[in-house]
A and B are shown apart, each in its own frame.
Chain A
Amino acid sequence: MLDSILIFSILTLILGLILGYAAIKFRIEGNPLVNQIDKILPQTQCGQCNYPGCRPYAEALAKGEAQINQCPPGGQDGADELADLLGVEQIPLNTEHGETKEPMVAVVDEQVCIGCTLCIQACPVDAFVGSSKVMTTVIAKECTGCELCIPVCPVDCIDMVEIQPTLGTYIPNIKDIAHA
């Protein structure tokens, strides 16, 4: 009798320790649903969804406070993917939040730039380099095309340009293939 109580107590203790350890070791950072939603969002960080970035929007979605059709950069495909993940009905994109555009990057006209650094402060992903009173440029690789820098520039020297396909990124047109 005493033996079995002892054995079971020890066993419980060991298993408890293992579980406790596992809980710490394999803890998922943050809320897993928020992470899953964030993974689908395009990370343009443009704020068109009325939240200050993709993650805040993901958090609002997870709490059920936002609609799935508020992200124009993600397009209809993105909204549909969110619907699948959250198990809700697919709905058309809400055009009040803006239109889905081709991917763009910001380009600074370096002749005109006065080095006011307002764009540096506006950029959600720190894609500008420069400091006060010297000209500023954009790291094209890191620019998400969110357009948040456009309204803040006092001399209007930032332009959004479409990303041109290169030999390495060219995708043949599937319609041409079908009609070949």
Chain B
Amino acid sequence: MLSNIFRGGIHIPNPYPVKNPKIVKVPPPEKAVLILQQKVGGQAKPCVEVGDKVLTGQVIAGTSSQYCVPIHASISGTISAIDKQPIPHPSGIDAMCITIESDGKDKWVEKEECGADFLSCKPEQIIDKIRSAGIVGMGGAGFPTHIKVSSVKNANTLVVNATECEPGIMCDDSLMQNYPREIIRGTEILLHACSAKKAIIAIEDDKQEAFNSLLMYNHNDKITIQRIPTKYTSGADKLLIKSLLDVEVPAGKHPSDIGVLCHNVGTVKAIHDAVIDGRPLVSRIVTVTGSGVEDPKNYEARLGTSFASVVSQSKPNKQKHKIRMGGMMMGVDVNSDQYSICKITNCIFINNFEPEPQVNECIRCSSCNQVCPINLLPQQLYWSSKSESIDKALEYNLDNCIECGCCSYVCPSNIPLVDYFVFAKAVNKKQINDAERADIARQRFEYREFRIERNMSERAEMMAKKKKALKEKMAKEKQQKDKIADAIQRVSKSKENKDA
């Protein structure tokens, strides 16, 4: 077991453990709503039209930029709409979605697979497979996986993050118990693609079953399965790397900058499916849990399935519910169960409605400072974020906050600290954006002034030249005239002389 685990963080036992780790397959839905915008990267461009017939796994929206991933039909049927729909996001902003009405057949497109012989594929081919399967970080970050794999410089270690990012979420645990072979295979594929020398699968010590299953299938001596103490935020990339390898990822840098590649197990399974089976990302494992359901469980659901149709299988009670996408710490509250499951929906919390606890003034107890796993000073950050002194907050390393919510969790005054930090970060982003825009405008304005002045001086120069040429011409003409006059005079003079 590891000793150099980070300071801070909190222990929260899983409040609603599942009784049965089996993954329940939810049948393909009647209607699938697929979001074109992922958490990172541009919006995918639809390449189908309303009324088109599509097959499961068919690309329905292509990439618009390097960071963008394609979207695949998650059921077969007819495209019924391409428009803006409400999505599970705190802003309540509608986003472009493609809606498919099922034909009930779930007929797949022809799959193009690499097969089991992935070692004969070049790393670039594998990375391209990952991109065209539409894979993004499945742990919740949603970062495009092909970018992560191809950007790593001199990879030395591959870390597979099997720590279950937050208490309450169980999708990774059940994934490992149900698909250990695929996960080991996926890890081997990634090792081949990034040419790292070793891989570490990091798993929390409370997941004995999952650990055993992985151990049973691992026959590769490049892959080690490492148990780490169960403590919240140990799954954060940088902290995990610190505890596993005892190296620090500098602030503002990515693990890939120090040759470490870090992927969630869910992503690794998706990579396996894409490379070995040629199956694009059209479904994912979702945990449904919380005080409002009788039977917390893990489901495998097609992307675009509504929350409600998955939740209904977990026997929700009749009370009023508070719904949250993602974990109890880092998730977002949503106001309806009609949203659809997207690539980063790892968990749906259904909690019985309870009034929000009373928020009080900060009593300067410093509890928040003690739990912050990044060693920030949330109390100071709170004051500066609340007063919108973003510069001050940046001095207290606002940038480094991983929005884990430990500070909010322990605050005896119930201050939603992390919400303030999310706010301050958004304001900071806007300030940077505005400054960039202003710089562009300044440059363009100055260039225009310069251009107008240049045009004017060029014109003036041209005019001066023309004038000069005219003058010269006139002078020449005058000379000519003078000469002629001279000659006439001379002639008449000589005539006179002759006459005389």
Do A142 and B423 have beta carbons less than 8 Å apart?
Answer: no
**Closest residue of B by beta carbon distance from A169:** B430
**Docked complex Cα distance between A127 and B440 (Å):** 11
Which residues of A74-129 have CB atoms within 8 Å of chain B's CB atoms? 124-127
Do B427 and A171 have beta carbons less than 8 Å apart?
Answer: yes
Which residues of A112-152 have CB atoms within 8 Å of chain B's CB atoms? 124-127, 141-142, 144
Q: Which one, B37, B95, B445, contacts A54 given CB within 8 A?
A: B445
**Please, which residues of chain A bring their CB within 8 A of the CB of B37?**
167
Q: Which one, A44, A53, A177, contacts B423 given CB within 8 A?
A: A177
**Closest residue of A by beta carbon distance from B423:** A172
B456 within 8 Å of A by Cβ?
no
Do B440 and A177 have beta carbons less than 8 Å apart?
Answer: no
Do B440 and A172 have beta carbons less than 8 Å apart?
Answer: no
How many residues of chain A get a CB closer than 8 Å to chain B's CBs? 27
**Please, which residues of chain A bring their CB within 8 A of the CB of B446?**
55
How many residue pairs bridge A and B at CB < 8 Å?
78
Do B448 and A125 have beta carbons less than 8 Å apart?
Answer: yes
Do B442 and A43 have beta carbons less than 8 Å apart?
Answer: yes
**Closest residue of B by beta carbon distance from A56:** B449
Q: Output the least CB separation between B186 and chain A (Å).
A: 30
Do B423 and A38 have beta carbons less than 8 Å apart?
Answer: no
B419 within 8 Å of A by Cβ?
yes
A174 within 8 Å of B by Cβ?
yes
Offer 23 A-B interface pairs, CB within 8 angstroms, sorted by A. A42-B438, A43-B437, A43-B438, A43-B442, A44-B441, A53-B445, A53-B449, A54-B445, A55-B446, A125-B441, A141-B440, A142-B441, A142-B444, A166-B93, A167-B89, A167-B95, A169-B426, A169-B429, A169-B433, A170-B93, A177-B420, A178-B386, A180-B359
**Docked complex Cα distance between A144 and B429 (Å):** 18
Q: Output the least CB separation between B89 and chain A (Å).
A: 6
**Please, which residues of chain B bring their CB within 8 A of the CB of A127?**
444
Do B445 and A167 have beta carbons less than 8 Å apart?
Answer: no
**13 additional contacts (CB under 8 A) given A53-B445, A126-B448, A144-B441:** A43-B437, A44-B441, A124-B448, A127-B444, A141-B437, A141-B440, A142-B441, A142-B444, A172-B90, A172-B422, A178-B386, A180-B356, A180-B419
Do A165 and B445 have beta carbons less than 8 Å apart?
Answer: no
A45 within 8 Å of B by Cβ?
yes
**Please, which residues of chain B bring their CB within 8 A of the CB of A54?**
442, 445
Q: Output the least CB separation between A20 and chain B (Å).
A: 29
Do B441 and A45 have beta carbons less than 8 Å apart?
Answer: yes
Chain B interface main SS type: helix
Which residues of B407-445 have CB atoms within 8 Å of chain A's CB atoms? 416, 419-420, 422-423, 426-427, 429-430, 433, 437-442, 444-445
**Please, which residues of chain B bring their CB within 8 A of the CB of A165?**
91, 93
Which residues of B89-129 have CB atoms within 8 Å of chain A's CB atoms? 89-91, 93, 95
Most buried by B among A38, A174, A179: A174
Chain A interface main SS type: loop
**Docked complex Cα distance between A180 and B423 (Å):** 14
Q: Which one, B386, B422, B433, B445, contacts A45 given CB within 8 A?
A: B445
Q: Output the least CB separation between B343 and chain A (Å).
A: 14
**Please, which residues of chain A bring their CB within 8 A of the CB of B440?**
125, 141-142
Which residues of B444-460 have CB atoms within 8 Å of chain A's CB atoms? 444-449
B388 within 8 Å of A by Cβ?
yes
How many residues of chain B get a CB closer than 8 Å to chain A's CBs? 32
Q: Output the least CB separation between A96 and chain B (Å).
A: 24
**Please, which residues of chain B bring their CB within 8 A of the CB of A55?**
442, 445-446
**Please, which residues of chain B bring their CB within 8 A of the CB of A125?**
440-441, 444-445, 448
**Please, which residues of chain B bring their CB within 8 A of the CB of A174?**
386, 388, 420, 423
Do A171 and B444 have beta carbons less than 8 Å apart?
Answer: no
**Please, which residues of chain B bring their CB within 8 A of the CB of A180?**
356, 359, 416, 419
**Closest residue of B by beta carbon distance from A180:** B416
**Docked complex Cα distance between A127 and B386 (Å):** 37
**Docked complex Cα distance between A16 and B359 (Å):** 66
Q: Output the least CB separation between B438 and chain A (Å).
A: 4
Most buried by B among A38, A44, A144: A144
**Docked complex Cα distance between A166 and B95 (Å):** 9
**Docked complex Cα distance between A137 and B248 (Å):** 50
**Please, which residues of chain B bring their CB within 8 A of the CB of A178?**
359, 386
**Docked complex Cα distance between A129 and B419 (Å):** 42
**Please, which residues of chain A bring their CB within 8 A of the CB of B416?**
177, 180
Do B441 and A43 have beta carbons less than 8 Å apart?
Answer: yes
**Docked complex Cα distance between A171 and B442 (Å):** 26
Which residues of A11-48 have CB atoms within 8 Å of chain B's CB atoms? 38, 42-45
**Please, which residues of chain B bring their CB within 8 A of the CB of A141?**
437, 440
Do B447 and A126 have beta carbons less than 8 Å apart?
Answer: yes
Most buried by A among B420, B441, B444, B447: B441
Q: Output the least CB separation between A10 and chain B (Å).
A: 44
Q: Output the least CB separation between B423 and chain A (Å).
A: 5
Q: Output the least CB separation between A30 and chain B (Å).
A: 11
**Docked complex Cα distance between A55 and B91 (Å):** 37
**Docked complex Cα distance between A79 and B386 (Å):** 23
Given contacts A125-B448, A177-B419, contact A38 B93 (CB under 8 A): no
**Please, which residues of chain A bring their CB within 8 A of the CB of B93?**
165-167, 170
Q: Output the least CB separation between B411 and chain A (Å).
A: 12
**Docked complex Cα distance between A169 and B416 (Å):** 21
Do B444 and A170 have beta carbons less than 8 Å apart?
Answer: no
